[in-house]
Protein backbone atom coordinates (compact mmCIF):
# COMPACT_ATOMS: atom_id res chain seq x y z
CA UNK A 1 0.00 0.00 0.00
CA UNK A 2 1.33 3.35 -1.07
CA UNK A 3 1.01 6.62 0.87
CA UNK A 4 -1.53 5.00 3.19
CA UNK A 5 -2.45 6.77 6.43
CA UNK A 6 -4.51 5.64 9.41
CA UNK A 7 -6.68 8.10 11.36
CA UNK A 8 -7.44 6.51 14.71
CA UNK A 9 -9.65 7.65 17.54
CA UNK A 10 -7.53 7.46 20.69
CA UNK A 11 -7.64 8.59 24.31
CA UNK A 12 -4.55 10.72 24.05
CA UNK A 13 -2.61 11.91 21.02
CA UNK A 14 -1.13 14.78 19.09
CA UNK A 15 -4.52 16.08 17.98
CA UNK A 16 -7.02 16.64 20.79
CA UNK A 17 -10.67 16.49 19.72
CA UNK A 18 -12.68 19.68 20.15
CA UNK A 19 -15.90 18.40 18.55
CA UNK A 20 -17.33 15.60 16.42
CA UNK A 21 -20.38 16.74 14.48
CA UNK A 22 -22.35 14.43 12.20
CA UNK A 23 -23.26 16.70 9.29
CA UNK A 24 -25.09 14.10 7.23
CA UNK A 25 -25.71 10.37 7.69
CA UNK A 26 -24.30 8.04 10.29
CA UNK A 27 -22.09 9.69 12.94
CA UNK A 28 -18.68 8.64 14.18
CA UNK A 29 -18.23 7.67 17.82
CA UNK A 30 -16.85 10.28 20.19
CA UNK A 31 -13.15 10.05 20.90
CA UNK A 32 -10.75 12.25 22.87
CA UNK A 33 -7.97 12.54 20.32
CA UNK A 34 -7.03 11.49 16.79
CA UNK A 35 -3.75 9.87 15.89
CA UNK A 36 -2.58 10.23 12.27
CA UNK A 37 0.17 7.88 11.14
CA UNK A 38 1.50 6.15 8.04
CA UNK A 39 0.15 2.60 7.81
CA UNK A 40 1.36 -0.51 6.02
CA UNK A 41 -2.06 -2.06 5.65
CA UNK A 42 -5.64 -2.02 6.87
CA UNK A 43 -6.22 -3.53 10.30
CA UNK A 44 -9.44 -3.89 12.33
CA UNK A 45 -10.19 -0.99 14.66
CA UNK A 46 -9.89 -1.51 18.41
CA UNK A 47 -13.22 -2.17 20.15
CA UNK A 48 -14.91 1.07 21.15
CA UNK A 49 -12.87 3.20 18.78
CA UNK A 50 -12.55 3.70 15.03
CA UNK A 51 -9.80 3.84 12.44
CA UNK A 52 -10.28 5.41 9.03
CA UNK A 53 -7.80 4.86 6.21
CA UNK A 54 -6.93 7.00 3.22
CA UNK A 55 -4.23 7.35 0.59
CA UNK A 56 -2.57 10.36 -0.88
CA UNK A 57 -2.79 10.17 -4.68
CA UNK A 58 -2.81 12.40 -7.74
CA UNK A 59 -5.55 15.03 -8.06
CA UNK A 60 -8.44 13.86 -10.22
CA UNK A 61 -9.94 17.14 -11.48
CA UNK A 62 -7.41 20.00 -11.35
CA UNK A 63 -6.57 21.47 -14.75
CA UNK A 64 -3.10 22.80 -15.55
CA UNK A 65 -3.76 26.41 -14.52
CA UNK A 66 -5.42 25.28 -11.30
CA UNK A 67 -2.65 22.83 -10.49
CA UNK A 68 -0.03 25.51 -11.09
CA UNK A 69 -1.89 27.94 -8.83
CA UNK A 70 -2.25 25.31 -6.11
CA UNK A 71 1.42 24.38 -6.27
CA UNK A 72 2.46 28.02 -6.15
CA UNK A 73 0.31 28.94 -3.18
CA UNK A 74 -0.34 25.93 -0.96
CA UNK A 75 1.70 25.22 2.14
CA UNK A 76 2.48 21.86 3.69
CA UNK A 77 0.86 20.27 6.72
CA UNK A 78 2.67 20.58 10.03
CA UNK A 79 3.31 24.34 10.11
CA UNK A 80 4.12 25.42 13.69
CA UNK A 81 1.38 28.09 13.71
CA UNK A 82 -1.29 25.73 12.39
CA UNK A 83 -2.62 24.60 15.75
CA UNK A 84 -6.10 23.76 14.52
CA UNK A 85 -7.20 21.02 12.19
CA UNK A 86 -10.44 19.71 10.72
CA UNK A 87 -10.81 16.09 9.66
CA UNK A 88 -13.90 15.76 7.49
CA UNK A 89 -14.55 12.29 6.07
CA UNK A 90 -17.02 12.32 3.17
CA UNK A 91 -18.93 9.69 1.24
CA UNK A 92 -20.51 10.56 -2.10
CA UNK A 93 -23.54 8.83 -3.59
CA UNK A 94 -23.67 6.08 -6.20
CA UNK A 95 -25.11 8.72 -8.56
CA UNK A 96 -21.82 10.65 -8.33
CA UNK A 97 -19.70 7.63 -9.10
CA UNK A 98 -21.89 6.67 -12.04
CA UNK A 99 -21.14 10.01 -13.70
CA UNK A 100 -18.52 10.27 -16.42
CA UNK A 101 -15.29 12.19 -15.83
CA UNK A 102 -16.47 15.28 -17.73
CA UNK A 103 -19.73 15.38 -15.78
CA UNK A 104 -17.94 15.08 -12.45
CA UNK A 105 -15.45 17.74 -13.49
CA UNK A 106 -18.25 20.09 -14.60
CA UNK A 107 -20.03 19.75 -11.26
CA UNK A 108 -16.79 19.94 -9.27
CA UNK A 109 -15.36 23.03 -10.88
CA UNK A 110 -17.43 24.78 -13.55
CA UNK A 111 -20.57 24.61 -11.39
CA UNK A 112 -19.19 24.39 -7.84
CA UNK A 113 -15.81 26.15 -8.19
CA UNK A 114 -14.27 23.75 -5.71
CA UNK A 115 -10.63 24.53 -6.55
CA UNK A 116 -11.29 28.23 -7.14
CA UNK A 117 -12.90 28.59 -3.72
CA UNK A 118 -10.10 26.66 -2.01
CA UNK A 119 -7.50 28.88 -3.68
CA UNK A 120 -8.97 31.97 -2.04
CA UNK A 121 -8.03 30.57 1.37
CA UNK A 122 -4.44 29.74 0.50
CA UNK A 123 -1.94 29.77 2.02
CA UNK A 124 -3.83 30.19 5.31
CA UNK A 125 -5.68 26.88 5.14
CA UNK A 126 -3.40 23.96 4.28
CA UNK A 127 -5.24 20.97 2.87
CA UNK A 128 -4.57 17.32 2.13
CA UNK A 129 -6.97 14.89 0.50
CA UNK A 130 -6.83 11.17 1.28
CA UNK A 131 -8.65 8.71 -1.02
CA UNK A 132 -10.57 5.92 0.69
CA UNK A 133 -13.17 4.58 -1.72
CA UNK A 134 -10.97 1.99 -3.43
CA UNK A 135 -9.91 0.77 0.01
CA UNK A 136 -13.47 -0.41 0.68
CA UNK A 137 -13.72 2.15 3.48
CA UNK A 138 -17.00 3.57 4.88
CA UNK A 139 -16.05 7.00 3.48
CA UNK A 140 -14.80 7.87 -0.02
CA UNK A 141 -12.39 10.58 1.16
CA UNK A 142 -10.83 12.00 4.27
CA UNK A 143 -10.29 15.71 3.90
CA UNK A 144 -7.79 17.27 6.31
CA UNK A 145 -7.28 20.99 6.86
CA UNK A 146 -4.76 22.82 9.08
CA UNK A 147 -4.84 26.49 10.00
CA UNK A 148 -3.86 28.97 12.68
CA UNK A 149 -6.50 29.90 15.29
CA UNK A 150 -6.56 33.39 13.75
CA UNK A 151 -7.77 31.87 10.49
CA UNK A 152 -10.56 29.81 12.08
CA UNK A 153 -13.31 32.15 10.91
CA UNK A 154 -12.00 32.19 7.39
CA UNK A 155 -11.98 28.41 7.45
CA UNK A 156 -15.66 28.35 8.49
CA UNK A 157 -16.52 30.54 5.50
CA UNK A 158 -14.57 28.22 3.20
CA UNK A 159 -16.51 25.22 4.52
CA UNK A 160 -19.86 26.99 4.28
CA UNK A 161 -19.21 27.92 0.68
CA UNK A 162 -18.18 24.39 -0.29
CA UNK A 163 -21.20 22.86 1.46
CA UNK A 164 -23.50 25.17 -0.47
CA UNK A 165 -22.28 23.92 -3.85
CA UNK A 166 -23.99 21.57 -6.29
CA UNK A 167 -21.19 19.12 -5.68
CA UNK A 168 -22.27 18.76 -2.06
CA UNK A 169 -25.72 17.51 -3.10
CA UNK A 170 -23.88 14.26 -3.91
CA UNK A 171 -22.48 13.96 -0.39
CA UNK A 172 -24.48 11.37 1.52
CA UNK A 173 -22.32 11.03 4.61
CA UNK A 174 -20.14 13.65 6.27
CA UNK A 175 -18.70 13.99 9.76
CA UNK A 176 -16.87 17.10 10.93
CA UNK A 177 -14.11 16.45 13.48
CA UNK A 178 -12.31 19.50 14.88
CA UNK A 179 -8.91 19.19 16.45
CA UNK A 180 -6.34 21.16 18.38
CA UNK A 181 -2.67 20.32 18.27
CA UNK A 182 -1.11 19.37 21.57
CA UNK A 183 1.64 21.90 22.24
CA UNK B 1 -9.46 -3.52 0.06
CA UNK B 2 -12.17 -3.14 -2.50
CA UNK B 3 -12.40 -4.98 -5.85
CA UNK B 4 -8.82 -6.17 -5.44
CA UNK B 5 -7.51 -8.94 -7.69
CA UNK B 6 -4.30 -10.93 -7.61
CA UNK B 7 -2.62 -12.09 -10.85
CA UNK B 8 -0.22 -14.86 -9.93
CA UNK B 9 2.28 -16.76 -12.02
CA UNK B 10 1.64 -20.45 -11.35
CA UNK B 11 2.59 -23.85 -12.76
CA UNK B 12 -0.95 -24.82 -13.63
CA UNK B 13 -4.12 -22.76 -13.79
CA UNK B 14 -7.11 -21.63 -15.80
CA UNK B 15 -5.03 -19.44 -18.10
CA UNK B 16 -2.09 -21.18 -19.74
CA UNK B 17 0.74 -18.86 -20.81
CA UNK B 18 1.47 -18.71 -24.53
CA UNK B 19 4.16 -16.02 -24.33
CA UNK B 20 5.67 -13.37 -22.02
CA UNK B 21 7.22 -10.54 -24.00
CA UNK B 22 8.94 -7.58 -22.35
CA UNK B 23 7.88 -4.66 -24.55
CA UNK B 24 9.68 -1.97 -22.58
CA UNK B 25 11.69 -1.97 -19.37
CA UNK B 26 12.26 -4.78 -16.92
CA UNK B 27 10.70 -8.13 -17.91
CA UNK B 28 8.55 -10.45 -15.83
CA UNK B 29 9.80 -13.96 -15.08
CA UNK B 30 8.51 -16.79 -17.24
CA UNK B 31 5.64 -18.77 -15.78
CA UNK B 32 3.46 -21.57 -17.16
CA UNK B 33 0.06 -20.19 -16.22
CA UNK B 34 -1.62 -17.20 -14.60
CA UNK B 35 -4.20 -17.45 -11.86
CA UNK B 36 -6.60 -14.51 -11.47
CA UNK B 37 -8.52 -14.33 -8.22
CA UNK B 38 -10.13 -11.82 -5.86
CA UNK B 39 -7.78 -10.95 -3.01
CA UNK B 40 -8.32 -9.58 0.47
CA UNK B 41 -4.94 -7.93 0.73
CA UNK B 42 -1.44 -7.79 -0.66
CA UNK B 43 0.81 -10.71 0.23
CA UNK B 44 4.43 -11.42 -0.73
CA UNK B 45 4.88 -13.47 -3.89
CA UNK B 46 6.11 -17.05 -3.66
CA UNK B 47 9.83 -17.45 -4.37
CA UNK B 48 10.48 -17.95 -8.06
CA UNK B 49 7.12 -16.55 -9.11
CA UNK B 50 5.34 -13.20 -9.15
CA UNK B 51 1.99 -11.78 -8.08
CA UNK B 52 0.65 -8.50 -9.41
CA UNK B 53 -2.29 -6.74 -7.78
CA UNK B 54 -4.86 -4.37 -9.20
CA UNK B 55 -8.22 -2.89 -8.35
CA UNK B 56 -11.28 -2.27 -10.44
CA UNK B 57 -12.34 1.37 -10.01
CA UNK B 58 -14.20 4.13 -11.84
CA UNK B 59 -12.90 5.26 -15.22
CA UNK B 60 -10.74 8.38 -14.97
CA UNK B 61 -11.08 9.92 -18.45
CA UNK B 62 -14.24 8.75 -20.22
CA UNK B 63 -16.68 11.55 -21.00
CA UNK B 64 -20.44 10.99 -20.96
CA UNK B 65 -20.81 10.11 -24.65
CA UNK B 66 -17.84 7.75 -24.45
CA UNK B 67 -19.06 6.12 -21.26
CA UNK B 68 -22.50 5.60 -22.78
CA UNK B 69 -20.97 4.06 -25.91
CA UNK B 70 -18.76 1.77 -23.82
CA UNK B 71 -21.65 0.65 -21.64
CA UNK B 72 -23.81 -0.03 -24.69
CA UNK B 73 -21.24 -2.07 -26.56
CA UNK B 74 -18.83 -3.74 -24.18
CA UNK B 75 -19.27 -7.33 -23.05
CA UNK B 76 -18.18 -8.89 -19.78
CA UNK B 77 -15.15 -11.06 -19.13
CA UNK B 78 -15.67 -14.81 -19.08
CA UNK B 79 -17.54 -15.31 -22.37
CA UNK B 80 -17.35 -18.99 -23.40
CA UNK B 81 -15.94 -18.15 -26.84
CA UNK B 82 -13.25 -15.83 -25.47
CA UNK B 83 -10.51 -18.45 -25.18
CA UNK B 84 -7.64 -16.00 -25.52
CA UNK B 85 -6.52 -13.31 -23.13
CA UNK B 86 -3.77 -10.71 -22.94
CA UNK B 87 -2.52 -9.41 -19.61
CA UNK B 88 -0.49 -6.28 -20.20
CA UNK B 89 0.82 -4.55 -17.08
CA UNK B 90 1.93 -0.98 -17.72
CA UNK B 91 3.85 1.65 -15.79
CA UNK B 92 3.73 5.28 -16.86
CA UNK B 93 6.44 7.84 -16.19
CA UNK B 94 6.63 10.46 -13.44
CA UNK B 95 6.10 13.04 -16.20
CA UNK B 96 2.65 11.56 -16.86
CA UNK B 97 1.64 11.66 -13.21
CA UNK B 98 2.85 15.25 -12.86
CA UNK B 99 0.41 16.35 -15.55
CA UNK B 100 -2.91 17.93 -14.63
CA UNK B 101 -6.19 16.13 -15.33
CA UNK B 102 -6.97 18.18 -18.45
CA UNK B 103 -3.49 17.54 -19.87
CA UNK B 104 -3.76 13.78 -19.25
CA UNK B 105 -7.24 13.75 -20.77
CA UNK B 106 -6.05 15.66 -23.85
CA UNK B 107 -3.22 13.22 -24.46
CA UNK B 108 -5.39 10.18 -23.65
CA UNK B 109 -8.30 11.01 -25.90
CA UNK B 110 -8.08 14.17 -28.03
CA UNK B 111 -4.54 13.29 -29.17
CA UNK B 112 -4.40 9.51 -28.78
CA UNK B 113 -8.09 8.53 -29.19
CA UNK B 114 -7.68 5.78 -26.63
CA UNK B 115 -11.39 5.21 -26.00
CA UNK B 116 -12.37 5.83 -29.62
CA UNK B 117 -9.89 3.20 -30.83
CA UNK B 118 -11.02 0.70 -28.20
CA UNK B 119 -14.66 1.21 -29.20
CA UNK B 120 -13.91 0.06 -32.74
CA UNK B 121 -13.03 -3.38 -31.39
CA UNK B 122 -16.15 -3.82 -29.27
CA UNK B 123 -17.78 -6.13 -28.55
CA UNK B 124 -15.15 -8.55 -29.90
CA UNK B 125 -12.41 -7.56 -27.45
CA UNK B 126 -13.64 -7.43 -23.85
CA UNK B 127 -11.48 -5.32 -21.59
CA UNK B 128 -11.00 -4.69 -17.89
CA UNK B 129 -8.63 -2.18 -16.33
CA UNK B 130 -7.13 -2.79 -12.89
CA UNK B 131 -5.48 0.12 -11.04
CA UNK B 132 -2.21 -0.65 -9.26
CA UNK B 133 -0.34 2.60 -8.70
CA UNK B 134 -1.89 3.52 -5.36
CA UNK B 135 -1.18 -0.01 -4.15
CA UNK B 136 2.56 0.70 -4.37
CA UNK B 137 2.84 -1.94 -7.10
CA UNK B 138 5.66 -2.13 -9.70
CA UNK B 139 3.12 -1.34 -12.45
CA UNK B 140 0.49 1.43 -12.51
CA UNK B 141 -2.15 -0.66 -14.30
CA UNK B 142 -2.91 -4.18 -15.33
CA UNK B 143 -4.86 -4.21 -18.58
CA UNK B 144 -6.72 -7.43 -19.34
CA UNK B 145 -8.31 -8.30 -22.69
CA UNK B 146 -10.36 -11.37 -23.70
CA UNK B 147 -11.29 -12.38 -27.22
CA UNK B 148 -12.09 -15.35 -29.42
CA UNK B 149 -9.22 -16.89 -31.44
CA UNK B 150 -10.96 -15.61 -34.58
CA UNK B 151 -10.52 -12.06 -33.31
CA UNK B 152 -6.82 -12.44 -32.50
CA UNK B 153 -5.68 -10.47 -35.56
CA UNK B 154 -8.07 -7.65 -34.83
CA UNK B 155 -6.70 -7.53 -31.30
CA UNK B 156 -3.13 -7.20 -32.66
CA UNK B 157 -4.23 -4.20 -34.71
CA UNK B 158 -5.89 -2.64 -31.67
CA UNK B 159 -2.67 -3.04 -29.69
CA UNK B 160 -0.49 -1.70 -32.48
CA UNK B 161 -2.66 1.39 -32.80
CA UNK B 162 -2.61 2.09 -29.06
CA UNK B 163 1.15 1.61 -28.87
CA UNK B 164 1.63 4.14 -31.67
CA UNK B 165 -0.16 6.92 -29.77
CA UNK B 166 1.31 9.92 -27.97
CA UNK B 167 -0.03 8.46 -24.73
CA UNK B 168 2.31 5.48 -25.11
CA UNK B 169 5.38 7.75 -25.08
CA UNK B 170 4.68 8.00 -21.34
CA UNK B 171 4.81 4.22 -20.87
CA UNK B 172 8.14 3.29 -19.33
CA UNK B 173 7.49 -0.36 -18.53
CA UNK B 174 5.23 -2.80 -20.35
CA UNK B 175 5.09 -6.59 -20.44
CA UNK B 176 2.79 -8.48 -22.79
CA UNK B 177 1.54 -11.82 -21.44
CA UNK B 178 -0.61 -13.91 -23.78
CA UNK B 179 -2.88 -16.58 -22.42
CA UNK B 180 -5.14 -19.39 -23.52
CA UNK B 181 -8.06 -20.57 -21.44
CA UNK B 182 -7.89 -24.17 -20.30
CA UNK B 183 -10.93 -25.91 -21.76
Q: Given a cut of 90, is residue B151 above it in pLDDT?
A: yes
Q: For residue B58, give the chain A residue with the closest CA.
A: A97
Cβ of A135 within 8 Å of Cβ of B2? The answer is yes
Chain-chain contact of B134 with A2 (C-beta, under 8 angstroms): yes
Beta carbons of B102 and A64 less than 8 Å apart: yes
What does the pLDDT look like over A25-72, one tens digit per residue?
999 999 999 999 999 999 888 888 999 999 999 999 999 999 999 999
The arithmetic mean of pLDDT across residues B82-102, rounded, is 97
Q: State how far residue A48 is from chain B, nearest Cα, in angstroms.
A: 22
- Candidates A67, A131, A137; nearest CB to B100: A67
Angle ∠(B157,B163,B166) on CA atoms, nearest 5: 130
Q: Over the stretch A74-94, which tens digit does the pLDDT of each residue have? A: 999 999 999 999 999 999 999
Give B60's contacts in chain A (Cβ within 8 Å).
Answer: 60, 101
In this complex, is the C-beta atom of A71 within 8 Å of any C-beta atom belonging to chain B? no
Amino acid sequence: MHNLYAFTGVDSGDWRVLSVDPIRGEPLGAVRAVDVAPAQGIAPARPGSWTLYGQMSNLRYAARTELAALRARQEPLGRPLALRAAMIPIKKSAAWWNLAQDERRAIFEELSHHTAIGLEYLPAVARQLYHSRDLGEPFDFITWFEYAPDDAEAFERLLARLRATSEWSFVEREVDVRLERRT
